[in-house]
């Protein structure tokens, strides 16, 4: 049942009316156990949700909403391999990519899912074997991943995040934009004999990816490169097209893996080369541990469920339209862009499963920047702006460097920002007044390890699932990206002729201007 059709939704609407006067400072003063009640451990992470605009009554009603909207049933259907992606009639099984090959849980899977699991591990073993071969190849000093969307954002984010585990002597580059300046800048620093190109495209037809791949191949050959088969590999299911390109090494994945959920598949090859097979398996293990938590933990202590329901409360009842992501670790600099695709491409929908227009908002706008940089940019607005923006801090307790006092200063800043947003400061003159009572979530990792990063990413995947299930939408298609692609092909065809017939006046004017000598 769609969330707004439940009794719990109506109950939350009533509770929201009383929340206009809610103040976090009063809530903490009235409840000595608030911090512990709204905090919990989950695999790889500790989360403090106590500085958010909710209370026990609200959370209880949100849990009722999840039950009445069938969130848990929808979750169980996903983990049984049912085709919950109803617009494309596909299962949603990114979770299977990190599932162990053996054990009681594997034996309990439905037969078709168990068969798919065997395929997953055959591909995984082959991919990790190839990754080890590249790691041992001292002639390869540069690995260039050519992809876009989930074929770029995920591996780029993860390679950066786990740079302290990366193999020395190899550099990793990521090219996604069809803007030739990006590829050109990367190629200028490379030698053909030392470079491996990974072409990541499930169909081997993605416009941006294939344009960049063809340009990379032309550069390679112009530099005297002749062995395309050695210096190019493909992450694709279209082995025939890759073969025509000259690529012999291919690693595929399945139609039940969406791009933004594909980091765990062959799309993760750059990460596997960077950190090695054992660490990559730790990365998968962290995600699997979070899968098991999501699948088995009681809803009241199920972190993905609690976060997803909090997102619904903020979006639909308190009408907060965005969420800021502030990771206090420089290696997580691509975490916010990764989450933007994960959440906004999944839940940026205007119709429900049946194609009916929704009368309420869905995905919030996600944005952010690593701390402490963000403090000197947009935190002014978070503290003193007229809009309330929930903020999600991600902090890492232990550093991997030995520079004195840096980590203590970093952690002091993130703790202080969360405190300042809540407590504020009074100033009669006004300009130095901090209203306080600004909501935030605090996620803490002991270390930025492969296991913990895997768990953190899976946590975010599942919270998106929860809010999407409440909203009654299909979180696993992305029809919204298609129209622009179609129109771009039409306009590209007009570049040669200059024909503007049938175009609106603005597009025609702009096309003529960009074509002018």
CA 348 to each of CA 77, 140, 362, 363, 475: distance values in angstroms, whole numbers, following the listed order = 22, 41, 6, 5, 8
DSSP string, 25-93: HHHHHH-TTHHHHTEEEETTEEEE-TTSS--HHHHHHHHHHHHHTTHHHHHHHHHTT---BTTTTB---
376 is catalytic: yes
- CA 262 – CA 514 distance, rounded (Å): 37
* Structure token digits, residue 121: 């591990």
Contact 90, 256 (CB under 8 A): yes
Q: Which of 208, 343, 345, 392 is catalytic?
A: 345
Coil, helix or strand for 196? strand
- CA 131 – CA 125 distance, rounded (Å): 10
- CA 480 – CA 349 distance, rounded (Å): 8
The Cα diameter of the chain in Å comes to 73
DSSP string, 299-361: GGG-HHHHHHHHHHIIIIIS---EEEEEEESGGGTTHHHHHHIIIIIHH--SB-TTSPBPSS-
Q: Which of 376, 397, 489, 492 is catalytic?
A: 376
Provide the CA 273 distance to its chain's centre, in angstroms: 21
Contact 176, 368 (CB under 8 A): no
* Structure token digits, residue 283: 């990365």
Coil, helix or strand for 117? helix
345 is catalytic: yes
Q: Which of 191, 406, 485, 489 is catalytic?
A: 485
**Which residues of 236-280 form beta strands (DSSP E)?**
250-251
Which residues are identified as catalytic?
345, 376, 485
């Amino acid at each position: 049942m769609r969330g707004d059709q439940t009794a719990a939704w109506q109950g939350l609407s009533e509770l929201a009316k009383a929340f206009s006067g809610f103040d976090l400072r009063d809530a903490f003063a009235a409840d000595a156990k608030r911090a512990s009640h709204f905090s919990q451990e989950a695999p790889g992470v500790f989360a403090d949700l106590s500085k958010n605009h909710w209370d026990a009554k609200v959370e209880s009603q949100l849990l009722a909403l999840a039950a009445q909207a069938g969130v848990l049933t929808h979750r169980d259907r996903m983990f049984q391999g049912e085709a919950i992606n109803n617009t494309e009639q596909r299962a949603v099984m990114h979770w299977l990519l990190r599932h162990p090959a053996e054990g009681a849980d594997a034996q309990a899977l439905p037969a078709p899912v168990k068969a798919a699991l065997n395929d997953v591990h055959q591909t995984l073993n082959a991919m990790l074997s190839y990754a080890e071969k590249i790691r041992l190849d001292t002639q390869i000093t540069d690995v260039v991943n050519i992809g876009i969307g989930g074929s770029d954002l995920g591996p780029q984010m993860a390679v950066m995040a786990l740079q302290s585990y990366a193999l020395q002597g190899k550099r990793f580059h990521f090219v996604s934009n069809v803007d030739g300046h990006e590829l050109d800048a990367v190629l200028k620093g490379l030698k053909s004999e030392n470079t491996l190109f990974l072409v990541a495209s499930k169909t081997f037809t993605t416009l941006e990816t294939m344009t960049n791949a063809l340009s990379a191949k032309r550069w390679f050959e112009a530099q005297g490169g002749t062995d395309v088969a050695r210096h190019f590999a493909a992450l694709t299911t279209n082995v025939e097209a890759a073969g025509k390109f000259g690529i012999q090494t291919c690693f595929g994945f399945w139609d039940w893996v969406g791009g933004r959920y594909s980091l765990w598949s062959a799309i993760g090859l750059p990460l596997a080369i960077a950190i090695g097979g054992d660490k990559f398996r730790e990365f998968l293990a962290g995600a699997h541990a979070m899968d098991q938590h999501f699948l088995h933990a009681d809803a009241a202590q199920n972190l993905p469920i609690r976060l997803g329901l909090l997102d619904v409360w903020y979006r639909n009842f308190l009408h907060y339209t965005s969420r800021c992501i502030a990771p206090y670790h420089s290696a997580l600099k691509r975490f916010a862009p990764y989450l933007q695709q994960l959440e906004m491409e999944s839940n940026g929908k205007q119709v429900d499963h049946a194609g009916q227009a929704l009368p309420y908002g869905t995905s919030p706008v996600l944005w952010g920047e690593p701390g402490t940089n963000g403090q000197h940019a947009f935190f002014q607005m978070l503290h003193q702006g007229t809009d309330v923006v929930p903020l999600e801090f991600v902090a890492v307790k232990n550093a991997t460097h030995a520079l004195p006092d840096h980590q203590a200063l970093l952690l002091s800043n993130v703790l202080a920002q969360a405190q300042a947003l809540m407590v504020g400061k009074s100033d009669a003159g006004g300009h130095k007044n901090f209203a306080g009572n600004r909501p935030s979530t605090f996620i803490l990792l002991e270390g930025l390890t492969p296991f913990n990063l895997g768990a953190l990413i899976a946590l975010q995947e599942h919270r998106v699932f929860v809010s999407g299930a409440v909203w009654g939408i299909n979180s696993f298609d992305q029809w919204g990206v298609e129209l622009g692609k179609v129109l771009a092909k039409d306009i590209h065809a007009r570049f040669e002729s200059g024909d503007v017939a049938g175009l609106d006046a603005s597009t025609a004017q702009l096309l003529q201007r960009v074509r002018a000598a």
